[in-house]
Amino acid sequence: MKITLTQLAKGLPDSYVVGQDVAIIGVTHDSRKAKAGFAYAAMTGSHSNGYDFIESAVSLGANAIICSEPSLISPELKEKVSLLVVPSVRQTLGLIACEVYGHPSLKVSLVGVTGTNGKTTTSFLLDAALSHGSLATGVIGTIEVRSANKRIGSTFTTPEGPDLQYLLNEMANGGADVVTMEVSSHGLDQYRVDGTFFKIGIFTNLSPEHLDYHGTMEQYFYAKSKLFDRERCGKAIVNVDDPWGRRLSNIVSIPVTTFGHADDADYRISNIEVDMSQTTFTLSNEEKNYKISTKIIGGINAYNAAAAFIAALNLGVTPEDAIRGIEECESVDGRFQIVKAGQPSMVVVDYAHTPDSIANLIGTVRSLIPHHGKVYAIGGARGGRDRLKRPSLGSSLSLADVAILTTDNPGDEDPEAIAMQLFLGTLDSHSCDVRVIIDRAEAITFAVQNATQDDAVVIVGRGHETNIRIGTAIVHLDDREEVAKAAAKFADRDAPESSLESLAI
């Protein structure tokens, strides 16, 4: 569809048009994606200045610029393109994109999943339940963007406003009935989903994460709670075993369905059983008891499956179809993914990157191996974020019998300095063998080559990811591939020796 700059300005307070009132057919904040008839949104960011790329966008066909500082645009460029001047590009871009693409979230049933842990797994389980109920579906999230079996790589958990509305429009035009979308706190706080309407919002849980950005848990919770504003969401499905979920259920003004072990939950979880092949549990409400099984291992996944089941029912899927879809959903990429490459021990690769999720993972794995078996845990911490969380991550890793502190996408930070911060959290552990092996591939090799058939290795933090940034270098590193390499060399038991003392400190 086409919409003029004047039409857009009328819906945006304190906005105006400079130059001709041109019509646009698309909008982008990425100058490389500009096309004929597109508006380019110029924003200043922490790493780049969008005003520096206006000329590039215009050369690709952009006929309009959305900006808040027209004085930064040269007179020569102003003669070539029209301007839509707004008070804040960041705060209005989502709304503008919704208008340009015809409010696609109203053309599908959109489900938003938010929380610290479990968003991806819940999204995949819900998608499986919906698909088994003969609904055409789409998924937007951390691992991938998918619609009608077409898969697109994902960059952000929640895309920027223009990308999000373009994707929703493509999915709606492609016949999608329901789209399940992970909604991050950054996406909510940075106005990426403004103008988007969610038929259902799901809250999984909340634990310390992104506090380098939000500052406090209160602010983090506030950002998450924005998903459930009345003008943005029709109904909430909330885990009330989580204290933040309990609080959310008490303050939202939209209809709420609650779930958890709690006696007062609308849907009550009980009888969780976990083995090497599945997680089973009973979900009960006033009407019926449902026996649900998922191939995704771990007691925490009972919550994810319960949320998916409840959402599917709300979208018209029968209980039988929802249960069958959840049962048939294969393991989610990088989420409790068991790697079998010929090594004697059990090896699990998981995206767990918070203290709670790592502790839960180690506990689950320990319950699946013999009592005398050992758990090897390999993990690190991302560079440039959540520095105060690092000792807690180390503490959770030290719940294993052997904790190997290593590199996890350090970026511009010193990997050894990050490892030392993790190590501080292990000092109170007297039963864990703590080692530091900075090279992640070597850390994985050490664990795989030392773990016996009664042991287990858990590799956390990166899950499905296949690249790691060290300084300015982007290096291919897939934890699952490294397990296979280590297993192939298993006959060579000369595992790399490393310890805290070997670091230059």
- Look at residue 44 in the predicted model and tell me its pLDDT: 82
High-pLDDT (> 90) share of the chain, %: 74
- Reduced to 3 states, what is the DSSP secondary structure of residue 377? strand
High-pLDDT (> 70) share of the chain, %: 95
Q: How does pLDDT run across 149-169, given as a tens digit for each residue?
A: 676 765 567 888 899 999 999
Note the pLDDT of residue 48: 79
Pair 455, 373: CB distance under 8 Å: yes
Position 495 scores a pLDDT of 45
Q: Is the pLDDT of residue 386 over 90?
A: no
Whether the CB-CB separation of 75 and 51 falls below 8 Å is answered with no
Extents of the domains making up the chain: 3-89, 104-328, 337-502
> How much helix, strand and coil, in percent to the nearest 5, is found in the chain?
35, 25, 40
pLDDT above 90 (res 258): yes
Structure confidence at residue 272 (pLDDT): 96
Q: Nearest to residue 160, comparing CAs of 90, 251, 224? A: 90
Q: Which CATH number fits domain 337-502: 2.40.430.10, 3.40.50.720, 3.90.190.20, 3.40.640.10?
A: 3.90.190.20
Query: What pLDDT was estimated at residue 153?
Result: 61
pLDDT at 21 over 70: yes
Residue 394, amino acid: G
- Residue 448 confidence (pLDDT): 95
* Position 240 pLDDT exceeds 90: yes
What sign has the CA pseudo-torsion 471, 475, 478, 484? negative
Q: Does pLDDT of 172 surpass 50?
A: yes
Give 209-234 pLDDT, tens digit per residue. 776 777 788 999 999 999 999 999 99
Are 313 and 375 contacting, i.e. CB atoms less than 8 angstroms apart?
no
Please state, in angstroms and rounded to a whole number, the distance separating the CA atoms of residues 122 and 294: 11
d(CA 36, CA 21): 16
If you ran DSSP here, which 8-state letter would residue 147 be given? Answer: E
Average pLDDT, the chain: 90
Confidence band for 504, pLDDT divided at 50, 70 and 90: very low
Average pLDDT over residues 474-486: 93
Q: Given CATH 3.30.110.60, say whether it is the number of domain 3-89.
A: no
pLDDT (tens digit per residue) in 434-464: 999 999 999 999 999 999 999 999 999 998 8
Q: Is 40 within 8 Å of 26 (Cβ atoms)?
A: no
- Collapsing DSSP to helix, strand or coil, 103 comes out as coil
Integer Cα distance of 175 and 163 in angstroms: 19
Average the pLDDT over 74-95 and give the result.
93
Second CATH level (architecture) for the domain 104-328: 3-Layer(aba) Sandwich (3.40)
At 134 the pLDDT is 87
pLDDT confidence of residue 402: 96
The region of weakest confidence among 329-333, 350-354, 415-419 is 329-333
Q: Which of 124-128, 151-155, 291-295 has the lowest mean pLDDT?
A: 151-155
Token pair for residue 268? 């009550």
The pLDDT of residue 505 is 28
Q: What is the pTM of this model?
A: 0.86
